[in-house]
Amino acid sequence: MNFDLPAGIQELVATTRAFREERLDPLEAQFLRDGNVPWELRPKLQAEARERGLWALDVPEEHGGRGLGQLAVCAVHEELNKHPMMFEVGGAPEPALYHCAPHQWDKYFASVVRGERRSAYAFTEPGAGSDLGGIATTAVRDGEDWVIDGGKIFIGLAERVEFLILFASTAPELGTRGVSAFLVDSGTPGYEVVRTIPTMGDAWDPCELRFEDCRLPADALLGELNHGFAGADRQLGHGRLKIASYQLGIAQRCLDLAVAYAQERTTWGQPIASRQGVSFMLADSAVELDAARLLVYRTAWQADEGRDVRIEAFKAKLYATEMAQRVTDRCLQVFGGRGYAKDSPVQSFFRQVRLWRIGHGTAEIHRWMIARDLLGPSAAEGSR
Ligand SMILES: Cc1cc2nc3c(=O)[nH]c(=O)nc-3n(C[C@H](O)[C@H](O)[C@H](O)COP(=O)(O)OP(=O)(O)OC[C@H]3O[C@@H](n4cnc5c(N)ncnc54)[C@H](O)[C@@H]3O)c2cc1C
């Protein structure tokens, strides 16, 4: 196995690094002070990234994208996530949108690739997070329409996007086998963003949504009736590898900062880097980061080879997110009080990585899925 990224991906990473250094890094002090940058800046920055080719990376060329693979996508996100603002490359439709019917394609898929519209996905409810079988939001047929009633919670960016990919129960007696996906335009009567939910993270807060007698036309159904759960799994699977790659950039940035600081900060006349108590924290972090990087790159490479990486993506996200938690914690410790101050990027990363052991599936559910793969479904049932 060649351990260097292919030359084309190295060039893409160099382009991404130049964009980050020129356009994102100057915003870091403001981001740390205010917990965000003005929201209007993000689409502008995405448009600038687009001019450099950073747009619709893994969208097939015939659909207007760059047709790149998962290794390239991971390498770009690793580089971007050395900045704490959680900057996303635009133009990539959510995986569920690949199931758009011909009459939905232009409005919901192609418009995202063109950069005209954005979407959020909504599974989670107050009574259904890890266990999506508990979805209580219903979609009931009334003549030609679907009528949606219920509520969603922790839905990222719902107040900023043009439409939702909503998962609702169309056959409650069938549990997860009775869930379907719907396309819901923002502003549809009966659909309301109730509030944003303040969280411990910077950058953005998720939303609570309410649906009351919300009428959708028959053609709002996305994909097959009662097959939404499989779509949900694919939707989350795609995100897992990308989230794992975020952790590489986060941990690398924190480690680089901590290595530099440990050499410059002195106590009792010696740099703290000369103390084993400090240098071993850096050494452990470097080893774990390398291990995570190999796991993420290998999984991305397998995906590009056309293999099924469902379980490998669970492993990559599980290991990388827990690695990033340990590395950001150690790096913050190396900085002492300076690491805890609001102008330190390390404290922002430290808080941010906590999300990724929960969002897109928790670490415990990932372990359960990996155990199930090892032991067979019935032997691992005790984990349920
Ligand atoms: C900032 C943020 C953004 C989010 N964005 C979105 C979004 O855009 N769209 C969306 O749909 N959702 C989103 N979520 C929701 C997220 O996906 C859920 O929080 C997550 O799936 C966990 O569900 P839960 O919070 O209901 O926890 P629960 O499922 O209630 O779990 C609570 C705890 O119990 C553990 N647990 C549960 N069952 C088991 C088991 N069988 N074995 C062992 N342990 C178990 C869990 O691992 C966890 O530790 C977001 C959440 C946050 C915090």
The widest CA-to-CA distance across the chain, in whole angstroms, is 80
pLDDT level of residue 1 (50, 70, 90 thresholds): very low
Q: Is the pLDDT of residue 317 over 80?
A: yes
Ligand 1 nearest atom to the CA of residue 122, by list position? 11
pTM of the predicted structure, to 2 decimals = 0.96
Which of 154, 233, 353 to probe ligand 1 with, by most ligand atoms within 8 A of CB?
154
Q: Under CATH, which number does the domain 118-222 receive?
A: 2.40.110.10
Q: How far is the CA of 178 from the centre of ligand 1 (A)?
A: 20
Q: How confident is residue 184, by pLDDT bands cut at 50, 70 and 90? A: very high
Probe ligand 1: pick from 88, 362, 369, max atoms within 8 Å of CB? 362
Question: Over the stretch 52-91, which tens digit does the pLDDT of each residue have?
Answer: 999 999 999 999 999 999 999 999 999 999 999 999 999 9
Alpha-carbon distance of 5 to 45, in angstroms, equals: 26
Pair type for strands 179-185 and 163-169: antiparallel
Ligand 1 atom with the smallest distance to the CA of 362 is: 47
What is the rounded radius of gyration, in angstroms, for the C-alpha atoms of the chain? Answer: 22
Q: What is the Cα–Cα distance from 278 to 77, expressed in whole angstroms? A: 29
Q: What is the CB < 6 Å shell around ligand 1?
A: 120-124, 129-131, 154-156, 199, 206, 355, 358-359, 361-362, 364-365, 368, 383-384
The rounded mean pLDDT for the chain is: 94
Nearest CA to ligand 1 atom 14: 154
Q: Under a CB-based contact definition with an 8 Å cutoff, are residues 257 and 331 in contact?
A: yes
How far is ligand 1, taken at its centre, from the CA of residue 226, in Å?
A: 22
- The correct answer on CATH 3.40.50.10490 for the domain covering 237-383 is no
The domain limits of the chain are 7-93, 118-222, 237-383
Multiple choice CATH, 7-93, 3.40.50.620, 3.40.50.150, 2.170.120.20, 1.10.540.10? 1.10.540.10
Query: Which residue pairs, CB below 8 angstroms and at least 24 apart, start in 124-131?
Result: 124/152, 124/153, 124/154, 124/155, 125/150, 125/151, 125/152, 125/153, 126/151, 126/153, 129/154, 130/361, 130/362, 130/364, 130/365
Q: Give the tens place of pLDDT for each residue, 82-120.
A: 999 999 999 999 999 999 999 999 999 999 999 999 999
Whose C-alpha lies nearest to ligand 1, atom 12? 124
Tell me, in angstroms, the distance from the centre of ligand 1 to residue 198's CA: 16
193 pLDDT above the threshold of 50? yes
Q: How confident is the model at residue 2 (pLDDT cuts 50, 70, 90)?
A: low
Q: What was the pLDDT predicted at 377?
A: 77
* Nearest of 243, 238, 252, 245 to residue 78 by alpha carbon: 245
8 Å CB contact between 168 and 124? no
Q: Quick check: 122 pLDDT over 60?
A: yes
Pocket residue to mutate for ligand 1, from 195, 356, 358, 367, most atoms within 8 A of Cβ: 358
Are 247 and 353 spatial neighbours (Cβ–Cβ below 8 Å)? Answer: yes
